[in-house]
Amino acid sequence: MLLYRLNVAGYVGDAGDALREEQYTGSANNNMKFSTYDNENDNASYNCASSKDGGWWFNDCSASCLMCI
């Protein structure tokens, strides 16, 4: 099965990089595999995609989910 892995690099700006830096989310999303409600690939003890209502490159249900409600 192909698991799409997030690779974030080269950000330039003053807004911070919440996808890569653990200081913003408590757990970085960089290098994580994509998770969905039926294909969990995160590090949480529960399914982040189900609890956040959307697929994402979750680490531990971090705050940088652009597709979540």
3-state secondary structure of 56: strand
pTM of this structure: 0.69
- The whole-angstrom separation of Cα 21 and Cα 43 is 16
- The whole-angstrom separation of Cα 27 and Cα 19 is 9
Per-residue pLDDT of 8-65, as tens digits, reads: 777 677 666 566 555 555 567 878 899 999 999 998 999 999 988 888 888 888 666 5
Domains and CATH numbers, the chain: 1-69 (4.10.530)
